[in-house]
Amino acid sequence: MNHFDYVRPTTIEDAVAAASEPGATYLAGGTNLLDLMKGGAIKPARLVDITHLPALNRIERDEGGGARIGALVKNAGLAYDDEFAHDFPAVAEALLAGASPQLRNAATVGGNLLQRTRCAYFYDPASACNKRVPGAGCDARDGLNSNHAVLGFSDACIATQPSDFCVALAALDAVVEIAGREGQREVALTDFHRLPGDTPHQETRLAPGELIVGVRLPKEAAAFAWHSRYLKVRERTSYAFALVSAAAALKIDDNGTITDARIAMGSIAAKPWRAYDAEAGLIGSQIGIEAFAAAGRAALAGAAPSGDNAYKIPLAQNAVARVLARAAAGTPRELPALPGAPFATATGELAHV
């Protein structure tokens, strides 16, 4: 049995101090952390329970239309907040496409950003994994790797980041608010997660002891509410991680010309992947399947298989094209019965006028 200390601070400052000790980690919803501890994949020396910290469980709006989400807001609570879902429908759709209702009721916004890869070799203490034990090697390189990365991977690691929520956040230029010993700072969500390189165990920009206190969506993100969607392709519609996923947000003028575009992809790299070149190629184009298919190809232009996952490249290309088509058709009045699923009925009814 792995023995560990348990502390429950009452202030952010005390939490940061407690978590700055070697071997400490934060505990919030615990939906990923406790699984890893039970399986022996990680063995923290101290759990710092932040569930009772004040001011981290609020959804706040600013006068310009942006939103700030406290790190302890539950995934379900955010997705079912009517005002938030109306203004940021792709984010709500991504949240409801993730996990199961029970897990969404427990999982937190901050924890979602920090969830670990679902690579089977990472979860298995008997396997070589550079994320779990730096320098140990990567059994996924020559192992069962059909679900692994096609972009941004290295010889040291080909794992993917599994979050649905983060993909929509990346598309909308979200910002992560972080508290540490030196005070508070902000990091763009697109820069928050690291690519593996030679140090795959360093997964985020967090320094030891630093705590996510909130996520902020800028006012510009709400301007995409008319045309933004999330699509998740998975082996089963109920409770499965994505094979590939994509979020898209568009601005379209009265002539059907795209004036602004945002595209991000998930489960294809160690971080949510923003497709900047594909976005640039869409601006000035007429909406239509040809433009969307070209964007899909551009989004995967640098992709390469790393074993048995070559299928992911055309799958992700098609996912990008399809989510763009959904976004162009318009945000539905209500979220589909199967959020994020390719099988969901999408009316395309413009409800945000």
Q: pLDDT per residue over 136-157, tens digit each?
A: 999 999 999 999 999 999 999 9
Give the separation between CA 122 and CA 118, rounded to whole angstroms: 7
With residue 228 as reference, give the H or E element that holds it.
strand 228-233
Give the separation between CA 243 and CA 42, rounded to whole angstroms: 25
Indicate left, alpha or beta for 23 from its phi (over 0: left) and psi (-120 to 50: alpha): left
Domains recognised in the chain with CATH numbers: 225-329 (3.30.390.50)
Q: Where are the alpha helices (DSSP H) in the chain?
A: 12-19, 33-39, 75-79, 82-87, 89-96, 101-106, 109-114, 120-123, 165-171, 189-192, 219-222, 276-282, 289-299, 312-329
pLDDT at 351: 45
pLDDT at 350: 45
pLDDT at 352: 44
pLDDT at 345: 67
pLDDT at 353: 42
Quick one: tokens of 253? 């003028």
pLDDT at 344: 81
Average pLDDT in the chain? 95
Give φ, ψ of 107 to 5 degrees.
Answer: -70, 145
Q: Where does residue 256 rank: exposed (0-12), middle (13-18), buried (19+ CB within 10 A)?
A: exposed
Quick one: tokens of 351? 């409800």
Give me the residues of the chain with pLDDT under 50, please.
348, 350-353
Quick one: tokens of 132? 């779990």
Burial 24-45 (b: 16+ CB within 10 A, else e): bbbbbbbbbbeebbeeebbebe
DSSP string computed for 25-45: EEESS-TTHHHHHHHTS---S
Burial 54-89 (b: 16+ CB within 10 A, else e): eebbebeeeeeebbbbbbbbbbbbbbebeebbebbb
Give the separation between CA 41 and CA 55, rounded to whole angstroms: 32
Give the separation between CA 207 and CA 9, rounded to whole angstroms: 19
Helix/strand/coil for 322: helix
Give the separation between CA 168 and CA 170, rounded to whole angstroms: 5
The CA–CA distances, whole Å, from 130 to 41, 117, 154 equal: 12, 12, 11
